[in-house]
Every structure is written in C-alpha cells, then in structure tokens.
Amino acid sequence: MGKFDGKVAIVTGAGRMRGIGRSVALAFAQEGAGVTVTGTGRDPSTFPLDEREAGWRDVDSVAAEIQEMGRGALPLVVDVSRADDVQRMVDGTLERFGRIDFLVNNAAAPRMAAWAPLPELPPEAWQRVFDIKVTGTFLCTRAVSEVLVRQGQGGSIVNVISIEAKISRDQDVAYATASGALYTFTAKGGRSLASHGIRMNAVSPGVTDTSRNDALYGYPRDDKWQNRVRQIPIGRAATPEEPANLIAWLCSDEAHMIVGKCIEMDGGHAS
C-alpha cells in the first residue's frame, strides 16, 4: 500500500533523465499514484550524450519507468506558457485517470537562454523565462485548481522555484527574478486556495546535480562545478531525488498544516 494509492499527479518539466521532474514523477509512482508527465518535446539531437547513449525518449521513457512499477502513466508534450496546451494537459489527464489530486510546477526555461548582465539582457529572453516559469505556473495552477475545487476533495500543488532568487550573480537576472515572483505567488496562492482544502507550497532547490547545469559546468563536471560546490556549507550538491522526496512529502497528509510556504533545500548556501 502506498500513501498515494488511487491518486493522480501532474508533473511538468519531467522529461530529462537527470532531472528533478523525472525524480518527482517516480516518487509519486512509488507511492501508488498515476502520473501525467510533461515535457517540451525536445529534439533528440540536442539530448546530452548520456541520454543518447541510453536511448532516452524524454517523457516516454519516464512514462515507461512508471508503467514498469505497475502504475498508470500519461506522457504529453506541453508548452506550459500556452493556455490551450495547459487545458489539453488537464483534459487528457481527466480522460486517462478520471481525476487530479496533485500538481508539481517544475517546468522552467533553460538557464543559459537568458544568461547575461542586465545591460545586455535581450527583452525576448527575459520574457521567455517569465512566460514559462511564472505565467506557466499560473496557467497550470489555475486550470488544475479549477478541477480540484469542482472535485471537492482538496489537493496539493507544489511549485519548484530556485534559491537563485536569493543569491547574487550578475548574469542570472531573469531566472532569479522569476524565481522571486514564485515565492510571492506561492504565499498568496496558498492563502487563496486553502479554504477549498487545496494546499499550495513550494520547494526551492539550491545547487542540484541535474542536466540543466551541463551548459554551465559541463558533463562530466569541470573545475567550475567544484568551485560552486565548495560554496555550499554542507559540502555537496543535492541529488534530484532529494527535492523530489520533499515534494512528495509536501503533498502527503503528514504535511497537511503546511500552506503557502517555501522550503529551501540548499545546504545552507543562501542562509
């Protein structure tokens, strides 16, 4: 018996082999949930070498892992910045599983897409980061919360933010500012939804060893990665499974009194 038997989760941004989203999807499945996993439909020619060598198929591979556990899975290509795509995600989940209980807003724009000092930051790069990370989180939350209210049985939403909102780096303005906006969205949204028995919270990871860091630190990791890790008081980066397990716990009955909060999981980096 799992704590999420009979429940259904949607996890966005879940197609990477070394990613938080995949680990979140597997964490829910391990506890008995059916899972909708979404990704952007990445061009396989852009996959990291380890994904290509493994024959990785993005969200289809994650769905296959979930099905091997004996759980239901629905892989979807979704642009979370488009309201019609988000509604298709919600409708598809309801058609496949008949209900929704949890949403994890993990989708985010690539860090390097807006990596520039403020005077050189292209407006379109700034906008794309906000379209995915902030507007996408809003659109997914709005569409899923409408279903949760209609079902009348509560539910849980977790936003994956980033500790970058509290770390000063001169070339990460867009991503850090979007992350800061999600701190506020989590607090205000949590208060707004609580009367319906819907709990919104967030997890803000620090340096985590995922493929999203490949563009900055190479793979295998280079000396810049080791320098970054040395800045973390606890002495290491997080694994993708660590925030994933915290996210699953936040959706459980054990965390029922936690509403509108962001838990920072950064090894003391931003403390």
Cβ neighbour number for residue 122 with a 10 Å cutoff: 12
Alpha carbon 4 to its chain centroid, in Å, reads: 19
CA torsion sign, 185 to 188 to 194 to 199? Answer: positive
Q: Catalytic residue among 175, 183, 217, 219, which?
A: 175
Alpha carbon 145 to its chain centroid, in Å, reads: 17
Q: How far apart are CA 114 and CA 175, in angstroms?
A: 7
CB 226 within 8 A of CB 249: no
What tokens were used for 186?
Answer: 């989590």
What tokens were used for 57?
Answer: 């198929």
| CA proximity to 11, closest of 156, 153, 125, 214 | 156
> Measured at the alpha carbon of residue 51, what is the angle toward residues 45 and 52, in degrees to the nearest 5?
50
Residue 219: active-site member = no
What tokens were used for 135?
Answer: 């507007």
Q: How far apart are CA 180 and CA 161, in angstroms?
A: 8
Catalytic residues: 175
